[in-house]
Chains A and B, each alone.
Chain A
């Protein structure tokens, strides 16, 4: 895992809003290309990882792949634009149900069309929520999006004919295309869901990393930091907020589509409020507003529960207690991070590196003076 996250780290550094040194500044002109190169490198890393590890890690990497776009979209909304959402799990649900409902009825190929439909559905819901949210702040916005997370699974139950009710919809994952079978052969075939997921997840990351350094990213950060100053720069606050919500929801739609094909079942119980809270936990742990932070947070979400549960079972805990260990550890980790390193993993590391650099510069300046 460290392999890919290191590659992702260099990729998203400018996204966090940090100011770069001279070498970085020289590279900024070809930022889009640089992001693309790093995303491709990360993908190669993922392919290698999938070759190295067994079946079990495939599932976890595929799980991580559906968290990544949703968490990255949420960190754009909450970290970059300053709007909190407790309802991103519900927006994932919109994407997941769209994918499941389409695959249930038709054999729509290629799969990317299904993903695009899910993105569109999530974006439309995001637009509706965003228009309402643009007028709300802080706790009121949290409340409104919470209502979305609680209420939306109810719709799936109410329209049981369409969405399978309490049982949910079974999802037949898309078959690997023929060229993939030819290329990969039998062994790599099993990794198709993870490879597909990561191709989409990294595309989303590439898109967002360019977006947050663009004029839209600047607008969003300006609106977050100082509404009065932002509107005096000619920024339409409402439009900027709604746009952030739509983009964020579209990313959650990608995550939802991947969730559907990875877990092969979309039911009200798989998209509960807990999913929304996990996403928020992930971006806070990783470092709010940082795409790399969202990736690291997703890794924690995907890997920590299974690792913990296995340890607990090995040490003789019964299965019910073992299953509850992960949420408890999440809670503990969140409390500890908030107390010890409120900027999350990425923010804290960045500050540590920066202060070390400044210390070195100061020492060099002192040395040259004497």
Chain B
């Protein structure tokens, strides 16, 4: 579904991605692992169009979408949940969810109920400003908003950051379930390699902007040398 080919991304003189290739098939979770500064977040930002690559291509369903503006990518089914939440703090929970279906013609306000069913904690807070939410609730809100865009590809950046293990497990469980039910393709970036590999199908290990290993999640988790060198567990 999503193909990344030889992508090179720089921030001024700093080389952040140095020829990264990977593919994210439908109905699968692909986890991108690596230490701080490995280029994980840059990879997601490049895929969703927030930064432009120097070279290489991003393809969705075989079509080159590398140069499309961010909102056009979203409209083609790419949903990016950025690191550090990305809720609109001044809008209420319900208004944030309405933004998710904004560009779809015929989106109904009642669709928010799907999200409230997934995350009942949000239903109680629907008329509160998003800035009154806890970290976990914000994460639920952003994931819920991304799902209302009816994406075919979901990019998740560090969903476990600063969250209680129970909340992380809940969010991961919901994502895994959606992938299995709807054929959603997920590209998951995580520091917490252990929990990421526990729900992922495939793992890609990045180091200093290059792919150093690509394998099934089970094989990566079993590779002791790789775990010690790059994954830290």
Residues of A within 8 A of B (CB): 17, 19-20, 25, 215, 218-219, 221-222, 224-226, 228-237
Nearest chain B CB to A169 CB, angstrom units = 43
Docked-complex contact A19 and B127, CB < 8 angstroms: yes
Residues of A within 8 A of B75 (CB): 234
- Given A19-B127, A20-B127, A218-B98, the answer on whether A235 and B71 have CB atoms closer than 8 Å is yes
Nearest chain B CB to A351 CB, angstrom units = 12
- Given A20-B127, A215-B98, A218-B98, the answer on whether A229 and B87 have CB atoms closer than 8 Å is yes
Contact with A along B87-110 (1 / 0, CB 8 A): 111111001001110110000000
CA distance A219 to B103 in the complex (A): 11
- Given A19-B129, A232-B80, the answer on whether A222 and B88 have CB atoms closer than 8 Å is yes
By beta carbon, the residue of chain A nearest B86 is: A229
| Extra inter-chain contacts (11) besides given A20-B127, A234-B149, CB under 8 Å | A17-B90, A219-B99, A219-B102, A225-B88, A225-B90, A228-B50, A231-B71, A232-B70, A233-B102, A235-B102, A236-B71
Docked-complex contact B88 and A229, CB < 8 angstroms: yes
Residues of A within 8 A of B89 (CB): 225-226
Residues of B within 8 A of A (CB): 48, 50, 69-71, 74-75, 79-80, 82, 86-92, 95, 98-100, 102-103, 127-129, 145-146, 149
What are 7 contact pairs spanning A and B, CB under 8 A?
A: A17-B91, A19-B129, A218-B95, A226-B86, A228-B50, A232-B74, A235-B102
By beta carbon, the residue of chain B nearest A233 is: B99
Q: Which of A25, A219, A229 touches B82 (beta carbons < 8 Å)?
A: A229
Q: Which of A17, A25, A222, A228 touches B99 (beta carbons < 8 Å)?
A: A222
By beta carbon, the residue of chain B nearest A231 is: B70
CA distance A17 to B48 in the complex (A): 30
Residues of B within 8 A of A25 (CB): 127
CA distance A228 to B99 in the complex (A): 13
Docked-complex contact B128 and A19, CB < 8 angstroms: yes
By beta carbon, the residue of chain B nearest A217 is: B95
Nearest chain B CB to A17 CB, angstrom units = 6
Nearest chain A CB to B156 CB, angstrom units = 12
CA distance A215 to B127 in the complex (A): 16
- Given A17-B91, A19-B129, A236-B71, the answer on whether A228 and B98 have CB atoms closer than 8 Å is no
- Given A232-B74, A234-B75, the answer on whether A221 and B102 have CB atoms closer than 8 Å is no
Q: Which of B69, B74, B92 touches A19 (beta carbons < 8 Å)?
A: B92
CA distance A229 to B145 in the complex (A): 11
